[in-house]
Amino acid sequence: MIEQPWFTVDLHLHTNRGSADSNLAPRDMIARAQAIGIGAVCITEHDNAWDLREIATLAADSGVIFLRGMEVTTEMGHIGVFGLTEYVGGIYKLRELRKVVDKLGGIMVANHPFRYKLDPRFSFINEDHEPIDPERPETAARLEIFEVCDAVEALNGACSEEENLFALKVARHLGLAEVAGSDSHSANSIGCVTTLLSAPVRNERELIEAIKARKTRAGRGLIAGTVAPFEIPA
Ligand SMILES: [Zn+2]
Ligand SMILES: [Zn+2]
């Protein structure tokens, strides 16, 4: 395998162990992660967290680092959280989630913030939201969700290119950390997009510190063999 200049992390994925909408068995996740040569994979189930000992047992000797996060459903969308060890009542409210995460020294990511929000055909999904002007990231940057989050998922494996690019522009406008996750619910898409780091992270704490320090980029190309950061086209 070609040595990559980046340490790659799939920051967002669901298994059938903790997410009812996923077809991904933990053993298949491990096999696929090994096969593609990814650095680390974060298991981020919907509103519940893995026990770290369980992850350690499953992933032992795999050569891949498995980390734990959670994708919390809130009134303002899905938030990727690191540092949370279990679901806490009340975190459906974004500000309450922030308080809990701050106490634990964790971080919050605005996951796929513009999924279905730029296409008028999906406006029925967003009936209680302000329409978003795809030409004006600076306006979308004022949305409350970005006041509360540390990072923006600028590349999500299940979003359109337009939605991802708009998220990247908003992240740049705000100077928030840029991350990426496949949002896999099956094995084949693992690592289709990855968070890029210049140095490896070995545990959840190191990942949190790297994101807090804005040392991450969103990127893709791992499966094709050449990883490149996601950039706004000139
Ligand atoms: Zn989500
Ligand atoms: Zn997800």
If you measure from the C-alpha of residue 131 to the centroid of ligand 1, how many angstroms do you get, rounded to a whole number?
20
Does 154 have pLDDT greater than 60? yes
**Residue span of the structural domain in which 217 resides:** 8-226
If you measure from the C-alpha of residue 3 to the centroid of ligand 1, how many angstroms do you get, rounded to a whole number?
31
If you measure from the C-alpha of residue 77 to the centroid of ligand 1, how many angstroms do you get, rounded to a whole number?
8
Q: Are the C-beta atoms of residues 230 and 164 closer than 8 Å to each other?
A: yes
Tell me the mean pLDDT in the region 199-225.
96
Of 205, 119, 109, residue with least CA distance to 162: 119
If you measure from the C-alpha of residue 39 to the centroid of ligand 2, how many angstroms do you get, rounded to a whole number?
20
Give the distance between the most distant pair of CA atoms in the chain. Answer: 49
If you measure from the C-alpha of residue 42 to the centroid of ligand 2, how many angstroms do you get, rounded to a whole number?
11
pLDDT tier at 124, thresholds 50, 70, 90: low
Q: Write down the pLDDT at residue 5.
A: 86
pTM of the model: 0.95
Does 94 have pLDDT greater than 90? yes
What is the rounded CA–CA span in Å between residue 129 and residue 115?
13
- The domain tally of the chain equals 1
Cβ neighbours of residue 34 under 8 Å, at least 6 residues apart? 62, 63, 64
If you measure from the C-alpha of residue 19 to the centroid of ligand 2, how many angstroms do you get, rounded to a whole number?
9
What residues have a C-beta under 5 A from ligand 1, the ion?
Answer: 78, 111
If you measure from the C-alpha of residue 182 to the centroid of ligand 2, how many angstroms do you get, rounded to a whole number?
8
Report DSSP state, residue 90: T
pLDDT tier at 1, thresholds 50, 70, 90: very low
Q: Are the C-beta atoms of residues 220 and 193 closer than 8 Å to each other?
A: yes
Q: Write down the pLDDT at residue 232.
A: 96
Tell me the mean pLDDT in the region 48-63.
90
For 96, the enclosing helix (H) or strand (E) is: helix 94-104
Domain of 107, CATH number, reads 3.20.20.140
If you measure from the C-alpha of residue 181 to the centroid of ligand 2, how many angstroms do you get, rounded to a whole number?
9
Q: Write down the pLDDT at residue 192.
A: 98
Does 175 have pLDDT greater than 70? yes
- Asked if residue 232 is part of any domain, the answer here is no
If you measure from the C-alpha of residue 194 to the centroid of ligand 2, how many angstroms do you get, rounded to a whole number?
14
What secondary structure, in 3-state letters, does 125-189 show? CCCCCCCCCCCCHHHHCCCHHHHHCCEEEEEECCCCHHHHHHHHHHHHHHCCEEEEECCECCHHH
- Asked if residue 34 is part of any domain, the answer here is yes
Residue 117 CB neighbour total at 10 angstroms: 21
If you measure from the C-alpha of residue 14 to the centroid of ligand 2, how many angstroms do you get, rounded to a whole number?
6
Radius of gyration (C-alpha) of the chain in whole angstroms = 17
If you measure from the C-alpha of residue 60 to the centroid of ligand 2, how many angstroms do you get, rounded to a whole number?
25
- Asked if residue 92 is part of any domain, the answer here is yes
Residue with the two structure tokens 């939605």: 163
- Asked if residue 231 is part of any domain, the answer here is no
If you measure from the C-alpha of residue 9 to the centroid of ligand 2, how many angstroms do you get, rounded to a whole number?
15
- Asked if residue 162 is part of any domain, the answer here is yes
- Asked if residue 1 is part of any domain, the answer here is no
pLDDT tier at 119, thresholds 50, 70, 90: confident
- Asked if residue 3 is part of any domain, the answer here is no
If you measure from the C-alpha of residue 111 to the centroid of ligand 2, how many angstroms do you get, rounded to a whole number?
8
- Asked if residue 233 is part of any domain, the answer here is no
